[in-house]
Amino acid sequence: MSLSATTAPPSRGAPSKHAQPRRRRGYSRFTRLDMKYSPYLYVAPFFVLFGIFGLYPMLWTLWMSLHDWDLVGTHTFIGLDNYSTLLGDEYFWNAVRNTFGMFILATVPQLALALFLANLLNRPLLRARTFFRMAIFVPNVVSVAAVAIVFGMLFQRDFGVINWFLGIFGVDAIDWRQERWTSWVAISTMVDWRWTGYNTLILLAGMQAIPRDLYEAAAMDGAGPWRQFWTVTLPMLRPTFVFVVILSTIGGLQLFVEPLIFANGNVIGGAQREFQTVQMYMFENSIHNLSKAGYGAAVAWALFLMIVVVSMLNFVITRRSVK
């Protein structure tokens, strides 16, 4: 038998022996590139959007703060003059005092109540847990304007429900918008009602991630519910609690809509600036007064630095105290 009869010629469509390793090398190279660069492509949309709507406005505001900037006119470079003027501005420091006062009055009770409610909703024997978890979030989805209007009516001097209730115990009618402390209490109550449920659900999610084995081991050692909360729940909840504290700090130092509507749209926050926040003062010196936009930008950066410093302090204190 001849050799040509026993050996069939290779088909035209079949790949050669040299092409297959080349294809494997190309596929392997593509896989390495995909594993190396695809994670950056996945997170790129966030950084692109942050750069456009976050970083660029911040840098532009910083540039504006170095100028005598008129939004409808010209602008002149003045260096750090806006910041030196800001340090001697009594209205600015009044706004800082109001902001920190309402921040403390709103944040401390809010976090304590949120921690208590989250621990209550985390109990397995509680009936209708799903209903209560949904109901506690309702205040957060209500329009902030509607919340401020309703609470403004509740805290009216002559016909408000709060003064009516206090009158039952012989307390005279309080003009909640007239005094500094009373306005702080009213606005802080409004903030607490709106944001306590939101923080409760975040803390509840953190509690549900704690292994049940730890509670069972603590119960076997004789620890009651209160002891379990301090020795198991709170230490394991530390990362979530730190996150909630920082989030509340950022929101609490940026109070704007609640006090603005409580003041009936008066950007100075009361007749004598009793509850004007830093955000309101920034609005007064930028949008409300277009010729002082550069000074308003300096106020914005001062607020940003305050938020960074206070958030870092809260982060350190919370990590050391919650163990």
Q: Give the per-residue pLDDT at 323.
A: 60
Q: Give the per-residue pLDDT at 5.
A: 47
Contacts with 101 (C-beta within 8 Å, 6 or more apart), sequence order: 180, 184
Kindly state whether residue 26 falls inside one of the protein's structural domains: no
CATH number, domain with residue 122: 1.10.3720.10
Count of domains for the chain:
1
Give the C-alpha separation, 288 to 282, whole Å.
9
40-74 pLDDT tens trace: 888 888 889 988 988 898 999 999 999 888 877 77
Kindly state whether residue 69 falls inside one of the protein's structural domains: no
Can you read off the two tokens belonging to residue 217?
């081991």
Contacts with 61 (C-beta within 8 Å, 6 or more apart), sequence order: 297, 300, 301
Give the C-alpha separation, 141 to 75, whole Å.
41
264-285 pLDDT tens trace: 888 888 888 899 999 999 999 8
pTM of the predicted model, to two decimals?
0.80
Q: Give the per-residue pLDDT at 141.
A: 86
DSSP 68-104: EE-TTS-EEE-TTHHHHHHHT-HHHHHHHHHHHHHHH
Q: Give the per-residue pLDDT at 189.
A: 92
Kindly state whether residue 203 falls inside one of the protein's structural domains: yes
Is the CA virtual torsion 186, 276, 257, 109 positive or negative?
A: negative
Q: Give the per-residue pLDDT at 4.
A: 46
Q: Give the per-residue pLDDT at 2.
A: 46
Kindly state whether residue 102 falls inside one of the protein's structural domains: yes
Kindly state whether residue 213 falls inside one of the protein's structural domains: yes
Q: Give the per-residue pLDDT at 9.
A: 52
Buried b (16+ CB within 10 A) or exposed e, 230-269: eebbbebbeebbbbbbbebbebbbbbebbbbbbbeebbbb
Q: Give the per-residue pLDDT at 21.
A: 54
Where the chain has pLDDT below 50, the residues are 1-6, 19
Give the C-alpha separation, 167 to 297, whole Å.
45
Going from the C-alpha of 237 to that of each of 154, 201, 209, 216, the distances in angstroms are: 36, 13, 9, 17
Q: Give the per-residue pLDDT at 266.
A: 86
Can you read off the two tokens belonging to residue 301?
């950066």
Average pLDDT over the chain reads 84
Residue 124 belongs to domain spanning:
90-321
Kindly state whether residue 115 falls inside one of the protein's structural domains: yes
Helix axes 144-154, 161-168, angle to 10 degrees: 40
